[in-house]
Amino acid sequence: MKDPIVAIATPFGESAIGIIRLSGRGVIDITKKFFKTRSEIKPRLAHYGTLVDESGDVIDEGVLIYYRAPKSYTGEDMVEISLHGNPLILKKTLELFLRAGCRLAEPGEFTKRAFLNGKLDLAQAEAVAELISAKTELARRASIRQLKGELSRYVNSLRDSLLELSAYIEADIEFSEEDIPTLTKEQVLSMIDKVLEGITQLLKTAKTGKLLREGMKLAIVGRPNVGKSSLFNALLKEDRAIVTDIEGTTRDYIEETLNLRGVPVVLVDTAGIREAKDPVERIGVERSVRKIEEADVVLFVLDGSEGVGDEDLKIYEKVKDRETIVVVNKIDLGEAPLPLEIFEGHSIIKVSALTGHGLKDLEEEILKKAGLVVQEGLNIYVSVRHEELLRKSKEVLERFRTRYEEEDISPEIAMLDIREATDYLGEIVGHITTEDVLGSIFSRFCIGK
């Protein structure tokens, strides 16, 4: 059992309850010095008592729960004390336990210890941080599934297939003169193909996973007075941007976050792009151009009642090579003829920001353009770290498959490739890892978790 650590496990600020969490060697003995109860402290029971300092002065009254190893979150002896959520009380309590021999926990150290003690694998540990930071219900459900081990089971099933293949190859090496069953070339290729198919399916979820974790950046672009701000407000379902008939009302970009069918979206209403003489408006236009470059998807807005003008075409040239949706707005005012062939290759959605017509179609197209189709039953999404390891494993297996099919390679060489691909999959769930990798992962956690 490791040295005792302590941290405040609840966010800073006044609240009804604040929690102090301790884990490690001797934490129950340290706690008993300062937490006074009328009865003996027993594991997994809530004990009401008084917390005092070294001089016996009362700090607060609260409830203590003791978790005896290995039946705790970290797999070590753990203590959680619930006190009144006054930051002064929690700070005083933290300092008390630091003086008593505990060390301040590093970010994510409780979960890191849970991983090192076999309570969670690495993919599950990562899901803890993602669950805490989930911005939408869809992201929360995805994190819960990963925390329950769905991603780990999928990856482990692929890894087990490679381990099985390794066992056959190794047996062929060690007992080449014995009469033992071996695999045909067709059987080996079939096993490799199944693993490659599984990896490919996981890699398809990478973009979705990135969007759920980081959100999608969506920029609304167009010349002045085509209804960008009205569309911005309609998507947000609130009057956030000022809407007038005066050109150039939006002189700088406005940024808000919304939940688009479970996907966190950073929505940017840009200043109308044109040759601005006003220096303030010119700065706003320059900032808007930068926001366009950062966007995952661009909504290029036209005034459907006026058609397409030279100013519209100049702006379209700036965005046509990006993931762009052409939004024909103001169709409630009538529809002027549109040269649709100009926008070939891009989706065209007709809407009225005023009446709400076409907004659901626009939302569907946004999700589709971003490579995300939200559906029930889509269980797991990989992170950037997982994606990198999956790609490495896939590259090794594809290289091996080509050589194995075309050449008569030795079992020893085959074993090296299979082991390398297996190790990459093992890194996802933490069968193989390094202190640097663990440090990088757990440094993103909050202190106390």
CATH number at residue 163: 1.20.120.430
242: DSSP letter: -
Q: Copy the structure tokens of residue 90.
A: 């929690």
Tell me what pLDDT residue 245 has.
43
Q: Is residue 318 part of a domain?
A: yes
Residues 434 and 344 in one domain: no
What is the rounded CA–CA span in Å between residue 153 and residue 380? 11
Q: Is residue 116 part of a domain?
A: no
The answer to whether 38 and 5 have CB atoms below 8 angstroms apart is: no
393-433 pLDDT, tens digit each = 999 999 999 988 887 777 778 888 999 999 999 999 998 88
Q: Which of 105, 135, 168 is the last residue of a domain?
A: 105
Residues 195 and 260 in one domain: no
Residues 364 and 219 in one domain: yes
- CATH of residue 348's domain is 3.40.50.300
298-336 pLDDT, tens digit each = 899 999 888 888 888 888 888 888 888 999 999 989 888
More confident residue, 428 or 228: 428
Q: Which of 56, 71, 105 is the last residue of a domain?
A: 105
Residue ranges making up the domain that contains 288: 215-369
Q: Is residue 157 part of a domain?
A: yes
Q: Is residue 361 part of a domain?
A: yes
In the structure, what pLDDT confidence band is assigned to residue 180 with cuts at 50, 70 and 90?
A: low
Q: Is residue 429 part of a domain?
A: yes
Tell me what pLDDT residue 344 has.
83
Please say if the pLDDT value at position 182 is more than 80.
Answer: no
| Torsion of Cα atoms, 134 then 361 then 365 then 259, to 10° | -10
Report the pLDDT averaged over residues 350-360: 91
Residues 194 and 222 in one domain: no
Residues 316 and 186 in one domain: no
Q: Is residue 374 part of a domain?
A: no
Residues 309 and 270 in one domain: yes
Number of domains within the chain? 3
Tell me what pLDDT residue 185 has.
81
Q: Is residue 119 part of a domain?
A: no
Residues 407 and 292 in one domain: no
Residues 223 and 337 in one domain: yes
Number of H helices, E strands in the chain: 15, 13
Please say if the pLDDT value at position 239 is more than 60.
Answer: no
Residues 339 and 391 in one domain: no
Average pLDDT over the chain, rounded to whole? 85
Residues 200 and 257 in one domain: no
Instruction: Report DSSP letters for 380-428, one per residue.
Output: ----HHHHHHHHHHHHHHHHHHHHHHHS---HHHHHHHHHHHHHHHHHH
- CATH of residue 12's domain is 3.30.1360.120
Tell me what pLDDT residue 1 has.
61
In the structure, what pLDDT confidence band is assigned to residue 390 with cuts at 50, 70 and 90?
A: very high
27-68 pLDDT, tens digit each = 999 999 999 999 899 999 999 999 999 999 999 999 999 999
Tell me what pLDDT residue 42 has.
94
Q: Is residue 343 part of a domain?
A: yes
92-104 pLDDT, tens digit each = 999 999 999 999 9
Tell me what pLDDT residue 169 has.
78
Residues 300 and 182 in one domain: no
Residues 221 and 319 in one domain: yes
Tell me what pLDDT residue 272 has.
53
What is the rounded CA–CA span in Å between residue 396 and residue 410? 16
Share of the chain above pLDDT 90, in %: 45
The answer to whether 184 and 192 have CB atoms below 8 angstroms apart is: no
Q: Which of 369, 398, 416 is the last residue of a domain?
A: 369
